[in-house]
Amino acid sequence: MDIKVFLTENSSSPILILSTLLLLLFIIKQTKSFFSHNIRNLPPGPPTLPIIGNLHQVGDKLHVSLYKLAQEYGPLISLKLGTKILVVASSPEAAMGILKTQDRSIVFDKDLLDLEEEHETFVGVKRSLLMILEYVSRVKDVGSFFPVFQRFDLQGIRKGGLKHVQEVFDYWKDMIDERRAHMGSSTWSSAQSKSFLDRLLENGFSDIRINQYVTELFVAGTNTTTTALIWALAEIVKNQDVMTKIKEEIKREIKSDKIKVSQLSKLPYLQACVKESLRLHPPVPFLLPRLAIETCEVMNYTIPKNAQIFVNIWAIGRDPKVWDDPLSFKPERFLDSNLDYKGQDFELLPFGSGKRICPSLPLGSKSIEFIIASLIHEFDCVLPDNEVPSKLDMEDKFQITLGKDKPLKLIFKHKHGSTKV
């Protein structure tokens, strides 16, 4: 229909006319923005549709959709998501190119930590932290692909996320107030200062800053470690030959009732199992998104300023060009190899690399090794309901961490009597 005729026929409805004009303006703006993004020599990628670009190709399992696109278009690809350009690295070379040029990133949309929003009542810090993760990991946030819509928060993502951030803040507000009052009292001496919170308070951090740091640490630290632990246990239980080898190693090397952290270095096979599990199931499938601060060249392609960059470490861990028989759980591959996850080997980056590497790498990796070694040393671990280990379901579920879709249920029978599920 001719626009002029349409406007004349509908002149009785000013709201309809206004919304039509707004829609037209929007389409013109998007089209202009598409042409201005038409940068030469972008990394290859699938053809785009008008306005939405490649949004229709991004499934709920983002790590899998981007892995499949990388198989088709190469290790460094570019996509248009709304008005944004996303570059994804899915091979060690591409990861190295990105991580050596782009070392700043953003953790949360800063709006999520905006404290101006209204109060809600406390419902439980664990639930709230999980809800924050759930909101942060929502892939299909219209506002992030079309910044023009950001302020409207059409899907309620910002509002929902803020509600749970506020619940978490409320939870430890009392703790902060109490500690601050104690520090200000005459009975306080700096020798009593022990915790991370004390250090922040001593150094004059405001409540807002403390809230942000502590929430970030909780969000980054809790789900990652438990997710890694669950995957490693699931793989060991599924592969009973691996379980037998761990038991033999522990029996041979550990003579005490309890394992100490200092003894973990005597268990190279167990350490290889943890590495192998982190290769196949990195709890964080994409490193923290990097933002191209300036236009730059990576692998002879141009990455334009303000492009968002993902490194798909889940894809790198399954790349048949890098790993022999990549989908099999084979800890032996690490026994005669110097390959490590400390950020230097771009084939294996479960903790990231560069300035943004996980600050808790030693704590995270040692915790998993220690918990698994202790469980296997002290308990016999079996699946309930005569489930066959080799048939254990290993489907994953994409949130900001990549968890196991079906919960892992195990029965732990203490070697000296009691049973725990």
Binding residues for heme, as ranges, are 358
Quote the tokens at residue 25: 């303006």
The CA distance from 360 to 285, in Å, is 17
Element housing 79 (H / E): strand 76-81
- Asked if residue 356 binds ligand HEM (CB under 6 A), the reply is yes
CB of 372 to ligand HEM, least distance (A): 12
Of 39, 52, 107, 392, the one binding ligand HEM (CB under 6 A) is 107
Give residues with Cβ within 8 angstroms of 340, minimum separation 6: 275, 348
Phi, psi of 161 (to 5 degrees): -60, -45
CB of 41 to ligand HEM, least distance (A): 26
Quote the tokens at residue 119: 């109060």
- Asked if residue 211 binds ligand HEM (CB under 6 A), the reply is no
- Asked if residue 130 binds ligand HEM (CB under 6 A), the reply is no
- HEC profile for 213-237? HHHHHHHHHHHHHHHHHHHHHHHHH
Stretch that binds ligand HEM, among 196-204, 213-221, 234-242, 377-385 (CB under 6 A): 213-221
Give bridge partners of residue 79 from the DSSP assignment.
86
**Is there a contact between 77 and 312 (Cβ–Cβ < 8 Å)?**
no
Edge-first strand order for the sheet with 379-382 is 379-382, 411-414, 419-420
**Is there a contact between 74 and 87 (Cβ–Cβ < 8 Å)?**
no
Of 283, 317, 331, 403, the one binding ligand HEM (CB under 6 A) is 283
Of 350, 373, 399, 403, the one binding ligand HEM (CB under 6 A) is 350
CB of 126 to ligand HEM, least distance (A): 15
Of 242, 348, 357, 373, the one binding ligand HEM (CB under 6 A) is 357
Helices (H), 185-206: 196-202
Stretch that binds ligand HEM, among 181-189, 261-269, 323-331, 359-367 (CB under 6 A): 359-367
Of 21, 154, 181, 217, the one binding ligand HEM (CB under 6 A) is 217
Q: By rule CB under 6 A, what count of residues binds ligand HEM?
A: 24
CB of 218 to ligand HEM, least distance (A): 8
Of 55, 364, 377, 396, the one binding ligand HEM (CB under 6 A) is 364
CB of 231 to ligand HEM, least distance (A): 10
Give residues with Cβ within 8 angstroms of 49, minimum separation 6: 56
Give residues with Cβ within 8 angstroms of 241, minimum separation 6: none
Quote the tokens at residue 145: 């692909």
- Asked if residue 228 binds ligand HEM (CB under 6 A), the reply is yes
Stretch that binds ligand HEM, among 219-227, 247-255, 300-308, 381-389 (CB under 6 A): 219-227
Binding site for ligand HEM (CB under 6 A): 107, 216-217, 220-221, 224-225, 228, 283-284, 287-288, 350-353, 356-360, 363-364, 368
